[in-house]
Structure 1
Amino acid sequence: MIQLQPVFKDYIWGGTKIRDFFRKNTGNLDRIAESWEFSSHVEGQSRIASGEYAGKTLSEFFAAVGWSKVGGFGRENRNLPCMVKFIDACENLSIQVHPTDNYAIRHERDNGKNEMWYIMSAEEGAFIYVGFNKNTSRKEVLRRIQDHSIEEILNKVPVRKGDSFFIPAGTVHAIGAGCFICEIQQTSNVTYRLYDYDRRDRDGRLRPLQIKKALEVLDYHHLQVLQDEQSGLYHIGSASSKMLARTNWFTVTKYDVDGDLQISVMRSPYSLYKAFVVVDGEGDVVMPNGPQHIKAGYTWLLKQQAPLRISGHCSVLIINL
C-alpha cells in the first residue's frame, strides 16, 4: 500500500472539515472545498507520500512502473480512467451538468464525466439535487434559470451518512450545504453551471455560467430517484461488502469492517492497481513489513495482491480501475 498526498482546491463554497476533522496539512489555505485524493488530471495531481517514489505525481509513478499496469485506458491515454475527491460543501454548490465523452472530446478536448457520490457525513437537513422531477424542455429550463425558479423542477433528495448515488453525464445535479462527500468520477474537470444563486467570486464578480453548453448536454427527461434498500449486501464474517457502482471507468465496492478479518479483493482483468479510500473509522492492514494504520479521510494506492487482512472498525471503498 502506498499512501497518497492530495491536492487541495479552495473554491469559495468550501468548508474546514478537511483540515480540522481529518487533520490534513492544508498549508495556508483557509477553506478547502475539495481534496483530490487520487488524481492524474493535469489540473491537480496527487503525489506519493512516502517510500521510493515519495514526492512523485501519480503520472510520474505510472510512467516509471508502466502505464500498462492500469489497463488499456492508461496505456493509450497516459492517464488514469478515474479520480477520487473529498468534497466539503459549506454552501450549496452551483446547479450544474457534465457532458458525455462524445461532447467533451469534441468541444473541450477532455473526457466526459460520469460520477458517483458516497455521503461520508451529512448535517441535519442536508440534501442533494439530482435530475428533473418531471419531463421538461430546453425552453422551460432557460426560463427558470432567468426567473430564478430552476430549483422547483429538480428532485430534492435528503441524504444521510452512508447513502450513495450514481450521477450519469447529462444529469442536472447539485450538492447541498452540509454534505461531505467522497466522489469517484471519470478523469475530467469539465463542468457547465446553469445556475449559481448570483454568487460572486473573491473579487466581487459574478461567477461565470456555461448555460449554452449546459442546455446542449442536459437530459430533460423526468428522473425517478429510488432508494434501493437491497442492492447486494454481502456479509463476510464480521464484515459486509456492497457493490456501489460498476461502470466502464471504475467499479466501487464498500467494505464495512468490525473486528479482525480477511477479505478477498475483487481482481480486475485490466489493472494491477486500485484506490483504497477510508471513509469512516480506523484500523490496520496487515502487510509483510508490518501493519499499515488506516483512518478516515485518507487514501492509498493498492497493488492487486492476495486476500487483504484488515483489523479495526472502519468502512473502506476499494475502487477498481
Structure 2
Amino acid sequence: MLVPLKFVPLFKYRIWGGEKLKSVLNKDYDSDAIGESWEISDVPNDETIVADGQFKGYTLKQLIQEFKGEFLGESVYKQFGEAFPLLIKFIDAKTPLSIQVHPNNEYAKTHHNSFGKNEMWYIMQADQDANIIVGFEKEIDKIQFKQHLEDKTVLEVMHHENVTKGDAFYIPTGRIHAIGAGVMLAEIQQTSDVTYRVYDYDRVDKTTGKTRDLHTDQAIEVLDFNVENSYKTVYDKELNTSNTLIHSPYFKTNFLPVKGELTKDYTNTDSFVIYMCVSGALSITHAEKEYVLQTGETMLFPASINQVVLKSNNAEILEVYF
C-alpha cells in the first residue's frame, strides 16, 4: 500500500544563494551559498529519493514504474507516462537572480527535448524593501530591448514589485522575471531546468572565476513583451479551506490554512497531491499512522490516498496537484 512520502532534498549552490534555507527552514547542509532546495525532482541526474519507510531510496521514476496511475493518478499517467510533471523547490536569494525567461513546451521540446517552464512563486519571507522583477513596466519591442541590453539599462524597463510574506505570482513562459535580494520563497514549476539569462549584473562566479553565460538570442525568441495591469495573484485565505491560489494547465495550487482538525478527501482528485508547509507545523494521519510536517518540509500523497486527517494549532500549506 502506498503511503505519504517525504523525499531527501537536493541542495544547489547558486552564485546568489544565502543561508536562510538552513537558518530559517532548518535544512541540513554544510556548503555555502545554497540557493535552492529541490524538494521533489525528476530532473535527469537530479532525482530526489524517498527519505524513509518501506520505499526508502526509491526515485520518483521507480515509484511510477511500479505503481503507474496508482501513484500519479490515471489521467496524469496517461498524459505523462513515467515522467513526473512537477519540480518543487524552496529558494533563498541573498543577492538578485539573473534577469531571465523560460520557453514554452513547444520551444523547449524542439530545442532541449524538455518540458517548458511555467512556474509560480509564494513568498515565505522577505527582508524590508525586498522586491522581485516580473514583467515589463512599459511597452517595448525587440529592437528597444536589445538596445537596453547593450546599454546595460535593461533594469529600467522591468517591473519591480516590493513583496512581503504571502504574496504570490504566476510566471508563465515568456514572462521576464527575477527574484530580488532578501527573498525566500516556495516555487512550483514544470519539470524543466531550462533558463535563458538576459542580464546577470556582470557577476563573476567564485567557483569558476568567470561570468555566467547569457542566452539573449533564445530569450528574445520566446519573450512576451505585453504589459499587464497587475502581476500579483489575489486569493482568499479562509481557514480550513483549500483556497484557489493559482490554477493553470500545468499545475494547480491552493492555499490551505489549518487550525484545529480537518479531514481532506481526495477521492475525486485523480492526481498525486503535494503539501508544502510554508508556516507552522501539522500532523497528518493516514491509515492510523501519524506523520509530522514542519515549516520548510514537503510531503507527497500518491493518488491512491483518498483521505487524510490534518491537525494543527496554526499551519499554512500549499496544496499542489495536477
Fold match, TM over 0.5? yes
- The answer to whether structure 1 residue 18 and structure 2 residue 21 are counterparts is yes
Q: Is the contact between residue 90 and residue 186 of structure 2 (CA under 8 Å) also seen in structure 1?
A: yes
Tell me the residue number matched to 1:114. 118
5 Å-filtered alignment, 1:94-133, equals: 94-133=98-137
Q: Which runs of 5+ in 1 are unaligned?
A: none
- The answer to whether structure 1 residue 209 and structure 2 residue 214 are counterparts is yes
Taking a change above 3 Å as real, the CA distance of residues 228 and 78 of structure 1, as seen in their structure-2 partners, is closer
Tell me the residue number matched to 1:85. 89
Cα distance in structure 2, aligned partners of 1:101 and 1:77:
16
Tell me the residue number matched to 1:31. 33
Tell me the residue number matched to 2:296. 297
Tell me the residue number matched to 1:247. 248
| Greater CA drift, 167-176 or 287-296 | 287-296
Cα distance in structure 2, aligned partners of 1:68 and 1:146:
52
Cα distance in structure 1, aligned partners of 2:111 and 2:278:
35
Amino acid at match of 1:243: T
Tell me the residue number matched to 2:68. 66
| Greater CA drift, 36-45 or 86-95 | 36-45
- The answer to whether structure 1 residue 136 and structure 2 residue 140 are counterparts is yes
Cα distance in structure 2, aligned partners of 1:145 and 1:228:
29
Cα distance in structure 1, aligned partners of 2:204 and 2:77:
38
Amino acid at match of 2:82: R
Amino acid at match of 1:40: D
Tell me the residue number matched to 1:151. 155
Tell me the residue number matched to 1:196. 200
- After superposition, the C-alpha distances for 1:104-160 in whole angstroms (9 at most, x for unaligned) are 111111111111111111111111111111111111111111111111111111111
| Greater CA drift, 68-77 or 175-184 | 68-77
| TM-score (normalised: structure 2) | 0.92
Tell me the residue number matched to 1:279. 278
- After superposition, the C-alpha distances for 1:85-115 in whole angstroms (9 at most, x for unaligned) are 1111011000000001111111111111111
Taking a change above 3 Å as real, the CA distance of residues 126 and 265 of structure 1, as seen in their structure-2 partners, is farther
| Greater CA drift, 260-269 or 213-222 | 260-269
Q: Which runs of 5+ in 2 are unaligned?
A: none
Cα distance in structure 2, aligned partners of 1:58 and 1:94:
30
- The answer to whether structure 1 residue 268 and structure 2 residue 269 are counterparts is yes
- Aligned Cα RMSD in Å? 1.9
| TM-score (normalised: structure 1) | 0.92
Which of 167, 192, 196 lines up with 1:163 in the alignment? 167
Q: Is the contact between residue 168 and residue 232 of structure 2 (CA under 8 Å) also seen in structure 1?
A: no
Report percent identity of matched pairs.
34
Cα distance in structure 2, aligned partners of 1:239 and 1:20:
29
Amino acid at match of 1:208: D
Cα distance in structure 1, aligned partners of 2:111 and 2:172:
19
The offset of 1:250, in angstroms, is 1.1
3-state SS of 1:48 partner: coil
Q: Is the contact between residue 278 and residue 298 of structure 1 (CA under 8 Å) also seen in structure 2?
A: yes
3-state SS of 1:5 partner: coil
Tell me the residue number matched to 1:259. 260
